[in-house]
């Protein structure tokens, strides 16, 4: 049995989350892989992690459901404390604010902010006892610059950026580093229906990013090369927002 560290990744069955899982597995992490309902996609990620020689525990729950988070994580945390937590779960419900329903507002904030609270509160308490850990929150250019039609998503991601900085200050003395990675336009399900003819001219590098490029920044922050970095937002956006 090796001394592998464990990472918990939320929303890890597809897109950036799946790429983060594979990147951390290549770096020697065992994984707790959270997802909400796509069992087939989660199983595919689990297979790729195990093919890399690492262990992968599937933890299906909705991060926006605080009771479900407790039911899944409290027993797991009694057995092991992850070295890294990656809060990646998220989704968008785009609409101009004047037409946005209260449900669309609440659903987006619930996943990003309530999910961050419920998962991180449990995990960071265990990390504090261990006096070590890494927390990486996946935010968005939308939370840094604001994007029309995404007032709910921009508010949620900006809130996560503020939470990242505040939590980093709270736990630094216990050797827990808290940072954010802020992807721009990345090739995922969230961008496949966007008008590329209008978007690409906004990106100085002239292309969409890949999930693996966003995952690389997360993997760096979880590595031994990032031991003096905390409270920071690392943008992976091709120069869209500087």
Q: What gap in Å lies between CA 117 and CA 146, rounded to an integer?
A: 23
Confidence at 189, pLDDT banded by 50, 70, 90? confident
Residue 95's domain spans which residues? 6-236
Report the pLDDT value the prediction gives residue 2, as an integer from 0 to 100: 59
Confidence at 126, pLDDT banded by 50, 70, 90? very high
Q: What gap in Å lies between CA 239 and CA 189, rounded to an integer?
A: 21
CATH label of the domain that carries residue 159: 3.40.50.720
DSSP calls for 203-234:
-TT-S-B-HHHHHHHHHHHTSTT-TT--S-EE
Query: Annotated catalytic sites, by residue?
Result: 153
Best CA proximity match to 117, nearest among 166, 81, 152:
166
- Average pLDDT of span 64-83: 98
- Rounded mean pLDDT of the chain? 96
pLDDT digits (tens, 9 = 90+) for 129-161: 999 999 999 999 999 999 999 999 999 999 999
In a domain, 173, yes or no: yes
In a domain, 241, yes or no: no
In a domain, 209, yes or no: yes
In a domain, 1, yes or no: no
What percentage of the chain has pLDDT greater than the value 90?
Answer: 94
Q: Is the pLDDT of residue 1 over 50?
A: no
Query: Which element (helix H / strand E) includes 87?
Result: strand 84-87
Query: Into how many domains does the chain fold?
Result: 1
């Amino acid at each position: 049995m090796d001394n592998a560290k464990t990472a918990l990744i939320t929303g890890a069955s597809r897109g950036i989350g799946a790429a983060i899982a594979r990147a951390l597995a290549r770096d020697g992490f065992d994984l707790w892989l959270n997802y909400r309902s796509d069992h087939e996609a989660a199983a595919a990620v689990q297979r790729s992690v195990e093919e890399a020689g690492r262990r992968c525990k599937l933890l299906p729950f909705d991060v926006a459901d605080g009771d479900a988070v407790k039911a899944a994580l409290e027993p797991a945390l009694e057995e092991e404390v992850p070295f890294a937590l990656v809060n990646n779960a998220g989704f968008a419900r785009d609409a101009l604010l004047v037409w946005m329903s209260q449900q669309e507002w609440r659903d987006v904030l619930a996943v990003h902010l309530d999910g961050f609270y419920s998962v991180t509160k449990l995990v960071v308490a265990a990390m504090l006892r261990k006096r070590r850990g890494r927390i990486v929150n996946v935010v968005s250019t939308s939370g840094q610059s604001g994007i029309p039609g995404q007032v709910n998503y921009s508010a949620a991601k900006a809130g996560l950026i503020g939470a990242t900085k505040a939590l980093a200050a709270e736990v630094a003395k216990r050797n827990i580093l808290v940072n954010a990675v802020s992807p721009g336009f990345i090739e995922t399900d969230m961008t496949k229906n966007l008008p590329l003819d209008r978007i690409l001219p906004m990106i100085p590098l002239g292309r969409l990013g890949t999930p693996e490029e966003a995952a690389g920044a997360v993997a760096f922050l979880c590595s031994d090369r990032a031991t003096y970095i905390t409270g920071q937002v690392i943008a992976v956006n091709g120069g869209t927002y500087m």
